[in-house]
Every structure is written in C-alpha cells, then in structure tokens.
Structure 1
Amino acid sequence: MTFIRPNFRHPELSTNAIGQSIKSYEGALSTLCAGCGHDSISAAIIKSCFDLNLQPHKIAKISGIGCSSKTPTYFLGKAHGFNSVHGRMPSVTTGANMANRDLLYIGVSGDGDTASIGMGQFAHVVRRNLNMVYIVMNNGCYGLTKGQDSATADKGSASKKGVPSVFDSIDLCQLALQLGAGMVARSFSGDKHQLIPLIKAAIRHPGFAFIDVVSPCVTFNNTPASTKGYEWVRDHLEATGTIDFIPAKSEITIDYPPGTSRQVELHDGSELVLQKNAEDYDLSSRKAAMNRIEAVREQQHILTGLIYHNESAADTHGLINTVRQPLNELSQQTLCPGSGVLDSLNESLR
C-alpha cells in the first residue's frame, strides 16, 4: 500500500479568498490507527487554516515525539516543519520564533510529550507568553509504547490493560492557567463544531494560546472505564457554551437561540462568540476559570470550550524588545557592529 495522497481532486473544488483549495492545506495520508482522535484534530487544523485564508508557506508546524507528534506529516504539507526530540518542541519553537516572528507557529504535542518529559519546557514557554498555538492531543496513554498510563490519566480510570490508575492526574489547562497563558481552552476530537472555532481563535490570539484536546486512543485507551475513551467523554462533557468564530471584515452571520451571548474581540478585529449557558462565569478571571474546572471535575465531568481569555499581556518579543525584522534578513553589519559598540555597551554598565 502507499501513504502518498493522490493528486487528483475534483476540478470544481471550492477555493478560499486567496485562491487556495483545501488540497493546499493537506499532507500525506495518515498512518495512525483507524478511528484515532488525532486524525480528527488534523482535519480541524486543515479546515481552520483554509477558512482563515492563511498562506501555508507562512506557517511553521513543530512537534516532539509520539503519535501526536507524527500528525504534522498529515496536515499543511506546504508549511515549514520540524520534528524535534521528545519533550523539546517548546524550546525549538522558541528558537524559531526568535529568529523569524513573522511565521505562524503551531506546536503539536501529546500528554506524555508535554506532561512528563516535556513538563519543564512547557512551563517556560507558557510563562514567556510565546506567540504560538500549542495543541495537546491528550489520550491519557503512551500509544507508541503499548499503552502505559500517562500523567494525564485520571485516577481510577482503566485502559485496555484493565488496571486502574493509582495516581492523581495532571490537568494541563489548570497548569497553563497557573503559569499565565493568555488563552486556555479544552475540546474533544469528536466535536469539530467546537474545536474548529477554538483553533481559529488560538491562531488569531496574540501570545500563547493553549488547547488541550481529549483525543481517544482506539487501540489502548478506549474502554468504558477509561475517562479518555469515546464513550465516557461523550457522556460526561460539559461545555462553557456554544462557540463561533467571526473573522474580521467577514460577511458571515450567526443565528443563536434565545439567550445572551458574549463577544470576545481579538487583536485583528475577529470575534469569538460564545452563547452562554446557565452557569457562565467571567472568562477573563483566572481564579474563576480554575474554580470552574475544579467544580466540573468534582462532578466527574470534563469542562470543554473556551476556559480563559486575556489579551492584555505582551508576548515574548514585546517583553524582551526584539527587533521587528527576522534575524535571517539582518545584515552582517547590524548583527556584528564591531568592538567599538561592545566597548561602549560595557562602559555603560560600569
């Protein structure tokens, strides 16, 4: 068999505002297990970039090691890409972002890649507020090494091996909130109507945007006793509200059922629109978001949707006052102005 996607597409395939068809945002055929939630996330990324009229060559997709970190092969085949060492995606993304801030950076990771070996890297990329989209494909297990529990496996839940986890789990959304992320959301790979608007909003968010996506592993962690399986997740979802994304200067209209809604305006004029439910809370309050996650968790449910949103914090470039021009476009004279400049700088510090 072949894993090369066929080139043929329908001659009347629709295009977006920049003349690109959905084919321009695809990658190779997936080699993941049939039914894997990760493929649904890849499809959501493809649809989001297509709808936002992004140029694929202006996107950089970076990952670590794991089933999730294989997925950049399956989307945005014309984008820049780098598959890094296990748990080191954040530092590679940081280096690339410092060199060229003009690209859109999409980091893809897994629950093992982020919550275990990459925990230290995750903590620092959040607190630095790097301008990137950070997506965790969270299945609660190590799919590449036969399904051992990961650090996000809920206490008492059981995977295919049948032994309940005896350890408390790490909630990555709560951790991202505590570390200062500007946008925090959680979704389910089987809910594209919620996930796609969240990815669009994360792309438009200036600074660090984090999305934890529960993505069932159909091979090792899809039993009725697993809190990361399709059956359990579908029966225990609790959403912050119905979500839609309205691009800037778009003629798209929305029609919500009776009730109130909240419009979250992003820096480019786009809007994330949320239809409130009865238990709505202040999305700009980190404390309220933490309390809501914990309250839902105590009910043995999973809180999905936009959990926290704050655009006021400066991103890494603003914090350390970097140059606007990408480093690879700077001249030798600018990068190495000579010993005289260094002497003057040293003298000013005496």
Structure 2
Amino acid sequence: MSYIKPKFRHPRLPTNKLGFTVADYDGAISTLCAGCGHDSISAAIRNACFQSAIPPHRIAKVSGIGCSSKMPTYFLGKSHGFNSVHGRMPSVATGASLANRDLTYIGVSGDGDTASIGMGQFIHLIRRNVNMTYIVANNGCYGLTKGQDSATADLGSVAKGGAVNPFDGIDLAALALLQGASFVARSFSGDKGQLEPLIRAAMAHKGFAFIDVVSPCVTFNNHVGSTKSYAETREHLDAMPLDFVPMREEITTQYAEGTTQAVTLHDGSAIHLKKADATYKANDRRAAMDVVQQAHADGRILTGLLYLDPDSQDLNQNLNLATRPLNELGKDELCPGSKVLKSINEGLR
C-alpha cells in the first residue's frame, strides 16, 4: 500500500502571495486512526503556512516520539524535517535555531513527549526563549502503547478500561505561563477557525510560542468519563475567537467596542482577540495565570490566546549571535586568527 498522495490537483486551486497552492504544503497520507484530532492539527499547520505565504523550504519541522511526533510526515513534505528521540526535540530545535535563524521552526510534540520524558528539556526551551512555534497535541493518554494515562490526564478522568486517574494532571499552558513563555495559547483540534490564526500568530512571534491543543484520541480516550473526548471538550469549551492580520493586509476586522484587544507583533502584523472577559488583558502574565486557574476550577477549558509579550527578545538576540546562518560564513569569519582570539580572551579577564 502506498502512502504517497497523488500529484494530480485541480488546475484552478487558489494560490497565495508566492504563487503556491495549498497542495504545495501537503505531506504524505496519514496513517493515524481515522478521526484522530492530530490530523486536524496537521491540516491547520498546513493551512496556516499557506495563508501566511511562507516558502515550504524555509520551514523546519522537528518532533520527538509518539503519535503526535509522526505528524510532520503528514504536512509540508517539501520542508526540512528532523524526528528526534523521545523527549529530546527541544535540544535539536535549539541547536538548529542557533545555527540558522532564517528558518521558521515548528516543533510538534505530545503530552508524553513533553510532560513526561521531555519535561526537563521543555522547561529550558521556555527559559531560553528559542524562536519557534511549539505545538503539543494533547490527548491525555499514550496512544502508541495502549492508552495508559499520561501526565496531562485530569484528576478523576476515566480510562477506557474503567480505571480512574488518581493524580492531578499537569497543565502545560499554566506551566508555560509560570516559566515565562512569551506566547501562550490553548486550542481544540476541532476548532480550525481558532487554531489556524493562532498558529499564524505564533509563527510571526519573535520568541518561544507555545500552543497546547486538546486533541482527542479516538481509539483510547474518546469515551464517557474521559475529560479529553470530543463530547467532553465541546461541552466545556470556553473559546476566545481571534483574527490574525498580516502586516501586508489592510486591517478591517471589527468587534463591538470594549470586547476586543489588538496586539501588534514585531513585523507589524496584528492579533485581534475577542475577549471572554471584558477585563482580560493578553499581555498581563499574572492575570492570564489567574484566568487559567479559575477556568480549571470551574471545569472550563479556556482556549485562545492566553498571553503574549510583544517585546520579547529571542535566544539569538539575547546571546548577540551572528545574524547569518553558520553555513554561509566563510573561513575568515569562522577562524579570524590568533590576534582576534587573544583580544576576546583579554576581554573576558
């Protein structure tokens, strides 16, 4: 059986600013379970890159291990990609970003890959503010190993076999806020109207952009009693709609007075956030943490842009590194000679 998509496409598919069709951002045919929320995330990433007119070859996809980490195969087949070992994607993303800041980095992970074996590396990725978009496909279980509860499974959630989870789940969005992430959002794989502009905004953000996406596992975690099933998520969803407006487009978005907040990013693009609470401010970290915790206490799943620091400095800026990719630097630039090295050493005394 072949998993390669046929090359035939309708001759009049719409094109973006670069002349690419959405088919130019496709990957291989998915081998995930039919109805898996992860496939909706893959489609949202593909559509976001198409709409933002990012050349596929200027995108680098990185992932770890798990159902979620298979996803990069299913979108952006003409981009760079690296599938790392379990929980170690942050190291690869950090190294790649430092070596070539000109690429757009998209990390795809899961609740096991991030909240268990990869937790330590995830925390340091946040504190270093690596310039990338980090998406967690969060289904609350280990889909590759028969559906055991993951570290993000909610207290009291019932597994498919009937066992009740006795532990509090790790809230990755709250953790990202606490550790100082400069862009934090949460969404639902079944809400592409919210997820796609969130991804576009995350890719335009300068610094670490984190999106926690509730993505139901149709095989092991989509039954009565699961807190991450399609039915349970839709019933408790508290969504904050938003629009992403690139710098090159005229801003025509309109909301009723007093219900929206506009945040301008480094490149001049803007995010228009329709707030669930008229007092909510997306650039107030403490307020965002309070809102997330209150939503959790109320049994609601708050989605949308939770926090954004429009003035963040990414890792390359903080370390004052070379602006050009390392593979473009010549011998004289990489090895300036003993006199330059001596002056550097003297400056460090």
TM range (shorter): over 0.9
On the 8 A contact 2:129/2:208 being kept in 1, the answer is yes
Mapping 1:170-319, distance limit 5 Å? 170-239=170-239, 241-251=240-250, 253-256=252-255, 260-278=259-277, 280-319=279-318
Partner of 2:162: 162
RMSD in angstroms over aligned alpha carbons? 1.3
Larger deviation: 248-257 or 165-174? 248-257
- Following superposition, the deviation at residue 28 of structure 1 comes to 0.2
Q: How far apart are residue 278 of structure 1 and its match? A: 3.9
* Partner SS state of residue 24, structure 1: helix
Contact 1:159/1:222, CA 8 A, preserved across alignment: no
Unaligned runs of 5+ in 2: none
What residue number does 1:34 align with? 34
What is the CA-CA distance between 1:254 and the residue it aligns to?
3.0
Alignment partners' CA distance in 2, 1:317 and 1:49 = 23
Give the Cα–Cα distance (whole angstroms) in 1 for the partners of residues 78 and 251 of structure 2.
28
Give structure 1 stretches of 5+ with no counterpart: none
Give 1:150 shift. Answer: 0.5
1:89-100 equivalence runs, <5 A: 89-100=89-100
Mean Cα displacement is larger for which, 278-287 or 104-113?
Answer: 278-287
Count of equivalent residues: 349
Is contact 1:160–1:223 with CA below 8 Å preserved after alignment? yes
Matched residues in 1 for 2:100 and 2:347: separation? 29
In 2, Cα distance between the equivalents of 1:155 and 1:205? 33
Q: How far 1:242 moved relative to its partner?
A: 1.8
Change (3 A) 1:344 1:269: closer
Identity among equivalent pairs (%):
63
More displaced stretch, 325-334 vs 184-193: 325-334
After the TM superposition, which residues 21-170 of structure 1 pair with which residues of structure 2 at under 5 Å, given as runs?
Answer: 21-170=21-170
Moved more, 62-71 or 308-317: 308-317
The answer to whether the Cα contact below 8 Å between 1:259 and 1:276 also exists between their aligned partners in 2 is no
The aligned amino acid for 1:307 is L
Name the SS of the counterpart of 2:271 in structure 1: strand
TM-score, normalised with respect to structure 1: 0.97
Q: Contact 2:261–2:281 (CA<8 Å) still a contact in 1?
A: no
AA in 1 matched with 2:304: G
Range that drifts further, 144-153 or 249-258: 249-258
Q: Distance in 2 between matches of 1:338 and 1:203?
A: 38
CA distance in 2, matches of 1:126, 1:348: 30
- For residues 75 and 13 of structure 1, what CA distance do their matches in structure 2 show? 18
Aligned twin of 2:320: 321
**Deviations, residues 201-229 of structure 1 (Å, cap 9, x unaligned):** 10111111000000000000111211111
Structure 2 Cα separation of the partners of residues 252 and 346 of structure 1: 51
- Tell me if the contact between 2:263 and 2:310 (Cα under 8 Å) persists in the aligned partners: no
Q: Distance in 2 between matches of 1:54 and 1:108?
A: 18
Q: Which runs of 4+ in 1 moved over 6 A?
A: none
State the shift of 1:232 in Å.
0.3
